[in-house]
Amino acid sequence: MLSRSGRPLAHVLFGPIARICVRAHISADTITITGTVAGVIASLTLLPFDHLTAGALTITALVIFDNLDGQIARLTGTSSLWGAFLDSTLDRISDAAIFCGLLIWAYRCADPRYQVWILVGGLAALVFGSVVPYARARAEGLGMTANVGLAERADRLVVVLVATFLVGVELGDWIMAGALWLLALSAFVTVIQRMVYVKKQAVASSRAGKDA
DSSP percent split of the chain into helix, strand, coil, nearest 5: 85, 0, 15
> How do residues 78-136 score in pLDDT, each as one tens digit?
778 888 888 889 999 999 999 999 999 999 999 999 999 999 999 999 999 999 999 99
**Count of Cβ atoms closer than 10 Å to residue 100 Cβ:** 18
Percent of the chain past pLDDT 90, that is, above it, reads: 61
Is 87 a catalytic site residue?
A: no
| DSSP secondary structure letter of residue 208 | H
pLDDT of residue 208: 79
Widest distance between CA atoms in the chain: 64
pLDDT of residue 211: 66
Task: Mean pLDDT check: name the lowest of 13-17, 72-76, 142-146, 153-157.
Answer: 13-17
| Alpha-carbon torsion, ordered 52, 171, 163, 193, to 10 deg | 150
With a CB cutoff of 8 Å and minimum separation 6, the contacts of 122 are 99, 102, 103, 106, 180
pLDDT of residue 80: 82
Q: Does the structure show a pLDDT above 90 at 44?
A: yes
**Average pLDDT over all residues of the chain:** 88
Domain around 157: 2-211
Q: Does the structure show a pLDDT above 90 at 75?
A: no
> How do residues 148-172 score in pLDDT, each as one tens digit?
888 788 889 999 999 999 999 999 9
pLDDT of residue 200: 93
Place 2 in a pLDDT band, splitting at 50, 70 and 90.
very low
pLDDT of residue 79: 79
Q: Which of 69, 91, 95, 155 is catalytic?
A: 91
**Count of Cβ atoms closer than 10 Å to residue 57 Cβ:** 17
Place 197 in a pLDDT band, splitting at 50, 70 and 90.
very high
Mean pLDDT of 8-29: 74
Q: What's the domain count of the chain?
A: 1
| DSSP secondary structure letter of residue 77 | T
The domain that holds 128 is classified in CATH as 1.20.120.1760
